[in-house]
């Protein structure tokens, strides 16, 4: 941890009613996240929003009923990330449960076609002669693509969650909680959540029509899709508000009980996680990257087939393939990250010797599929909005952006486009992540315009590297049972972060394990308790340092399991010598 890091502590709401229902430490943590009523944690499906207020839902269901009645060919057009893969799988499986016999999918290869329902993808789709296209996790900006489908006589239902532009596509139905006029309160629902709600509404209407009994079809249990919904929701890093927490919690419970898709079980196994103790963090950091690797380096169909197959052996073989792609992705990313850090050293600094507020990086050798992760890693390092560019076709650059709190990256790009209409050929995204295409000749101009827009919205103080913690823990709270309680108190995720603490410790032991992991033994000074800790990817130019006897640590509580023994372990995020 660098000395410039500012540690701030969350402020709990005093006297919140939640304090009477849970342990005092947990009450403090919940209330500092705005959760004042334990019943709103999000555990029961009875509390789940029905989604009936979603604009466009009735039109979508009406068109789907026609497709089922007439046994029409349905084609799902997905996206090449984890949300897109799980959305596609939920669409395929859910429609199959309704009795659809002719359902297939198409995911644009990001290197050939880019994102969304483009006219080029419609031309590819038309070869399958679908009667209906359903987009999942994309489509809200596909004005030209929907027009091409209409011209080809193919109806389109759009299901998406990304922010719309000024013009909406002329689809027969648009289901997107973020479209103008939609009164559905859960705006943070991601792509897989939206298609889940569409399938749920379709089942509701079909039940009213006695559809399943008349056709001797089993009544669908859509709860069996919640493992996919949970994975996609966590992977897309949408805010874990009450409704999303319910979806994730229910999905995790199914996975823990072994009632999950063979592909998800195989991914858990290949990543070395325990199914019975799986957490939302495992979904986000172990399963999702392996699925995403397919879309980044190869073809997301590998990931979708892994999620769809009912054959455990095939699921395992595909999971092994995804794991190999993820290892390859890591190697590419590490090399690109080293190049990016070298580029940072070469950047022209301002009069105060500071980096631009909005940072744009480009290397002609960078891999288009990995620039999103690269932007995220550099953003974490420099704590400012970052755009990483890779070379595209026809003199274009493809950019992937990641932002920091306080700067809505999609709206920021919209502001740049309004002031400089010639710069952005296309863009889309949401608050913390976005993608774009620019002409290579406009890179320098875009760098300046982006930096100017970030400076307009953020101050130098906003860019200070800070971390928000839940305060310190007493010696009695540094215990295995507390770590267990916090593990089960989630699901934790974006906008409902896993508890993070800070405190001062005596440093008893320190050594490097692996290549860059710092293994520690710390002592809590008041209680004299010795605690194991680990700091992954430590700065080996600083650690280990035998001269350091006291440290300030920012950490999470974790349960370490080794040879059947379970013990408390601190997971160190930042470590400062004192």
Do 90 and 194 lie in a common domain? yes
pLDDT in the model for residue 353: 66
Question: Range of 500's domain?
Answer: 467-577
pLDDT averaged over every residue in the chain: 93
Does 12 map to a domain? no
91 vs 21, residue with greater confidence: 91
Predicted confidence (pLDDT) at residue 111 exceeds the cutoff of 80: no
562: pLDDT confidence band, cut at 50, 70 and 90? confident
Predicted confidence (pLDDT) at residue 17 exceeds the cutoff of 80: no
Do 117 and 185 lie in a common domain? yes
Q: What is the DSSP letter of 452?
A: H
Does 5 map to a domain? no
pLDDT in the model for residue 298: 83
pLDDT in the model for residue 2: 41
457-472: average pLDDT: 93
CATH number at residue 398: 3.10.310.30
Do 358 and 422 lie in a common domain? yes
Q: What does pTM read for this prediction?
A: 0.90
User: Could you tell me where the beta strands, DSSP code E, fall in 261-328?
Assistant: none
Do 453 and 487 lie in a common domain? no
Do 155 and 279 lie in a common domain? yes
Do 113 and 229 lie in a common domain? yes
What is the percent of the chain with per-residue pLDDT over 90, rounded to a whole number? Answer: 80
Does 292 map to a domain? yes
448-471: average pLDDT: 94
Do 62 and 208 lie in a common domain? yes
92: pLDDT confidence band, cut at 50, 70 and 90? very high
Q: How many domains does the chain have?
A: 3
539 vs 289, residue with greater confidence: 289
Of the ranges 86-95, 289-298, 466-475, which is most confident? 86-95
Do 99 and 153 lie in a common domain? yes
CA dihedral 142, 148, 152, 153 (to 10 degrees): 50
The structure tokens listed for 156 are 């389109």
Predicted confidence (pLDDT) at residue 339 exceeds the cutoff of 70: yes
Predicted confidence (pLDDT) at residue 564 exceeds the cutoff of 50: yes
pLDDT for 396-444, tens place per residue?
A: 999 999 999 899 999 999 999 999 999 999 898 888 899 999 999 999 9
In angstroms, rounded to a whole number, what is the distance separating the alpha carbons of residues 74 and 198? 15
Predicted confidence (pLDDT) at residue 3 exceeds the cutoff of 50: no
pLDDT in the model for residue 376: 92
Final residue of a structural domain among 442, 463, 484? 463
460 close to 147: Cβ distance less than 8 angstroms: no
In angstroms, rounded to a whole number, what is the distance separating the alpha carbons of residues 261 and 225? 8
Does 19 map to a domain? no
pLDDT for 363-401, tens place per residue?
A: 999 999 899 999 998 998 899 999 999 999 889 999 999
End-to-end CA distance of the chain: 12
Final residue of a structural domain among 265, 290, 323? 323
Helix (H), strand (E) at residue 267: helix 262-270
Does 39 map to a domain? no
Final residue of a structural domain among 463, 497, 522? 463
Do 203 and 217 lie in a common domain? yes
| Side-chain half-sphere CA neighbours of 24 within 13 A | 5
469-482: average pLDDT: 95
CATH number at residue 527: 2.40.50.460
119: pLDDT confidence band, cut at 50, 70 and 90? very high
pLDDT in the model for residue 530: 94
Do 314 and 373 lie in a common domain? no
Do 388 and 422 lie in a common domain? yes
pLDDT for 4-15, tens place per residue?
A: 789 999 988 766
Does 17 map to a domain? no
CATH number at residue 140: 3.90.1640.30
pLDDT for 511-554, tens place per residue?
A: 999 888 999 999 998 889 899 999 998 988 899 999 999 999 99
350: pLDDT confidence band, cut at 50, 70 and 90? low
Do 450 and 473 lie in a common domain? no
Does 332 map to a domain? no
Does 41 map to a domain? no
Can you give the C-alpha Rg of the chain in angstroms?
A: 24
pLDDT in the model for residue 113: 73
Predicted confidence (pLDDT) at residue 1 exceeds the cutoff of 80: no
């Amino acid at each position: 941890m660098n000395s410039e890091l500012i540690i701030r502590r969350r402020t709990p709401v005093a006297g919140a009613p939640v304090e009477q229902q849970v342990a005092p430490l947990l009450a403090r943590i919940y209330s500092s996240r705005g959760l004042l009523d334990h019943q709103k944690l999000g555990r029961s499906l009875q509390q789940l929003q029905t989604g009936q207020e979603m604009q466009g839902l009735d039109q979508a269901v009406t068109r789907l009923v026609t497709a089922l009645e007439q046994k029409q060919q349905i084609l799902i057009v997905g996206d090449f990330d984890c949300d897109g893969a799980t959305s596609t799988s939920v669409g395929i499986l859910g429609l199959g449960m309704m009795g659809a016999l002719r359902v297939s999918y198409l995911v644009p290869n990001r290197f050939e076609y880019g994102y969304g329902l483009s006219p080029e993808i419609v031309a590819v789709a038309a070869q399958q002669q679908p009667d209906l296209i359903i987009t999942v996790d994309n489509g809200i900006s596909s004005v030209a693509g929907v027009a091409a489908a209409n011209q080809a006589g193919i109806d389109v239902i759009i299901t998406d969650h990304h922010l719309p532009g000024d013009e909406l596509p002329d689809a027969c139905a648009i289901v997107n909680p973020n479209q103008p006029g939609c009164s559905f309160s859960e705006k943070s629902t991601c792509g897989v959540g939206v298609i889940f709600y569409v399938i749920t509404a379709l089942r509701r209407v079909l039940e009213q029509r006695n559809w399943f009994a008349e056709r001797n079809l089993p009544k669908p249990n859509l709860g069996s899709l919640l493992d996919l919904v949970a994975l996609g929701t966590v992977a897309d890093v949408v805010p874990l508000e009450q409704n999303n927490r319910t979806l994730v919690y229910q999905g995790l419970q199914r996975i823990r009980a072994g009632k999950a898709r063979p592909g998800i079980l195989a991914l858990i196994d290949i990543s070395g996680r325990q199914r019975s103790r799986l957490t939302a963090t495992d979904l986000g950091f172990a399963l999702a990257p392996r699925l995403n690797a397919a879309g980044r380096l190869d073809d997301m169909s590998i990931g979708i087939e892994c999620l769809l197959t009912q054959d455990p052996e095939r699921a395992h073989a595909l999971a092994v393939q995804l794991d190999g792609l993820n290892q390859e992705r890591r190697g590419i990313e590490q090399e690109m990250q080293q190049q990016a850090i070298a580029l940072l050293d070469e950047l022209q600094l301002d009069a105060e010797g500071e980096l631009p507020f909005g940072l744009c990086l480009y290397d002609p050798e960078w891999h288009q599929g990995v620039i999103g992760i690269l932007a995220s890693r550099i953003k974490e390092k420099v704590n400012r909005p970052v755009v990483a560019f890779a070379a595209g076709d026809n003199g274009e650059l493809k950019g992937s952006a990641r932002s920091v709190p306080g700067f809505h990256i999609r709206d920021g790009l919209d502001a740049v486009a309004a002031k400089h209409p010639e710069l952005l050929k296309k863009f889309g995204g949401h608050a913390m992540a976005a993608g774009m295409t620019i002409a290579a000749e406009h890179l320098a101009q875009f760098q300046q315009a982006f930096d100017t827009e970030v400076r307009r919205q953020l101050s130098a103080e906003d860019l200070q590297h800070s971390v928000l913690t839940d305060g310190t823990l007493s010696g009695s709270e540094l215990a295995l049972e507390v770590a267990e309680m916090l593990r089960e108190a989630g699901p934790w995720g974006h906008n409902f972060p896993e508890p993070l603490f800070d405190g001062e410790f005596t440093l008893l032991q320190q050594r490097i394990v692996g290549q860059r992991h710092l293994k520690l033994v710390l002592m809590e000074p008041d209680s004299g308790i010795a605690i194991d800790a680990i700091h992954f990817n430590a700065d080996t130019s600083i650690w280990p340092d035998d001269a350091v006897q006291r440290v300030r640590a920012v950490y999470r509580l974790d349960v370490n399991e080794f040879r059947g023994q379970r013990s408390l372990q601190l997971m160190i995020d930042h470590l400062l010598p004192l």
